[in-house]
Amino acid sequence: MKEISTYADKFTNPRDFAIEVAWLALFDALGCAIASTKIPECMLHVGSLVPGITCEPGVMIPGTDLRVDPLSAAFSTGSLIRWSDFSDSWVAIETGHPSDNIGAILAAAEYANIAGGGTARTPLTVNDVLVGMIKAYEIQGVLGLNNSLSQHGLDHASFVRVASAAVTSKLIGGGHPEICSAVSHAWCDGHPLRIYRQSPNVGPRKSWAGPDAAARGLQLAFLALKGEPACGSVIADPVWGLEKRILNEKKLSLPRPLDSYVMENIVFKAAYPGVIHAQTALEAAIKLHPEVHLKLSQIKQINIWSYGTAIRIASKSGLLNNPADRDHCLQYMVAFGLIHGTLTEKDFSDPAAQDCRIDELRNKMMVQEDPEFSKDFLNPEIRSCSNGVQVIFADGTATSRINIDQPVGHAGRINEAMRFLETKLIQNLSAGFSVPVVDSILKLYGNPQKRRNTPVSAFLKTFSIG
């Protein structure tokens, strides 16, 4: 707890490469948010948490004309970013989505500028947001390297709450004592069941659970600044501590020093949406599409080789109830890739899922664990998401087995990912903004000097309506 708090308080000068990747991650996330404003189900979660309540001057929600309190802004912005499962991801024993923290970070930074208005305090800039992102990504991601909540039936959103509590405490003016208090209470909070990510209960909560945790982290930061004392033994208390009561006496640990490792190795969903564990399987299926799409009726079996975590989380048979269920289904994504040679956010919708060929192919799939894939997934120096796909036809012929180790947005393929990320950004921005607004955002995107000095409020206004 002290190590996390000291890092959040004192770490101020990350490597230039980490700042560059954070810049990509910020625009990638905000592009996802703008596209989500066109999804009615998502917009039900956007705005003041209490209907009819207004807040002036309020914190802006990107892609809208709304100004709300900081907690509602954190939840709303985070939900917009996360909704279509197209924002960045982290590959570790406990996978997750560090971009879930961005809504809380932006809300805290803008609130700090509003609250400090008219004083001598220097306004927080986009660079402060980028440094905050690096810290939140690092805390959440390093915790996930060897501390598994999912093995205890719990959700990784707890790590989001801890990260957001630490970073937002600093942004709104807290020092080490306040940060430590907020972090301790983030550990005190109940740790959510991951039941809403698993069939048959998969639903919209999967898309707002992380943002909800981030907003709660910000709430705890505000409480800490009011003088809330820390719960100093929350992790290691021998009777009531987290390790004793939640982790079955397994020690919580930080397996590497906190720096900028996670941001520098983040995995972007550069080309395709959907669960990170199925990205390479989808890519393999797309490579096989030209060979199989005219012979779908002749397919006898589809073999998929994967790793243990992917099978546990994303391998699903039977009925898929909604888009949130489908975008976490390995077999659905492979089937769609084989049939169409691509996959977009809309392809998880109910109309797209009505194509009977999808379930026909799913029923022919055999998913099996490749021990080497599982080993490489657990190796922090490799962090692979390997999948292999092969199609066997009724006449006994077969395609080659296509193995892909890393998705296109992996750090090892970042140069390849750049063109996908820019195309994705333009498409997402164009869903919500006119051509002149898109052009102005792209100019900011390409101006490194200006971006560092832009106050947070001015930056957010670029992404807002009205």
The pLDDT-based confidence of 55 (bands split at 50, 70, 90) is: confident
Counting Cβ atoms within 10 Å, is residue 27 exposed (0-12), middle (13-18) or buried (19+)?
buried
pTM listed for this prediction: 0.92
Integer Cα distance of 196 and 204 in angstroms: 8
Which residue in the block uniquely carries the two structure tokens 């039936």?
153
Residue spans of the domains in the chain: they are 2-264, 276-407
Q: Is the pLDDT of residue 52 over 90?
A: no
Integer Cα distance of 296 and 290 in angstroms: 11
Residue-wise pLDDT for 270-280, tens only, equals 999 999 999 99
Residue-wise pLDDT for 59-104, tens only, equals 999 999 999 999 999 999 999 999 998 999 998 888 899 999 999 9
Integer Cα distance of 168 and 176 in angstroms: 12
The pLDDT-based confidence of 185 (bands split at 50, 70, 90) is: very high
Q: Is the peptide bond before 192 cis (omega within 30 degrees of 0)?
A: no
Class of the domain covering 2-264: mainly alpha
The pLDDT-based confidence of 119 (bands split at 50, 70, 90) is: very low
The secondary structure of the chain in percent helix, strand, coil, rounded to multiples of 5, reads 55, 10, 35
Give the strands of the sheet with 387-393, arranged side by side. Answer: 365-369, 299-306, 387-393, 402-404
| 3-state SS assignment for residue 247 | coil
**256 CB-near residues (< 8 Å, 6+ apart):** 142, 145, 380
Indicate the CATH number for domain 276-407: 3.30.1330.120
Task: Give mean pLDDT, residues 328-348.
Answer: 96
Burial 376-395 (b: 16+ CB within 10 A, else e): bbbeeeebbbbbbbbbbeee
Q: Is the pLDDT of residue 328 over 80?
A: yes
Q: Is the pLDDT of residue 444 over 70?
A: yes
Question: What's the pLDDT score for residue 120?
Answer: 43
SS3 of 403-420 = EECCCCCCHHHHHHHHHH
Q: Is the pLDDT of residue 158 over 60?
A: yes
Alpha carbon of 379 to those of 372, 373, 384, 439: distances in Å? 11, 10, 8, 42
The pLDDT-based confidence of 466 (bands split at 50, 70, 90) is: low
**62 CB-near residues (< 8 Å, 6+ apart):** 30, 33, 34, 77, 80, 106, 460, 463, 464
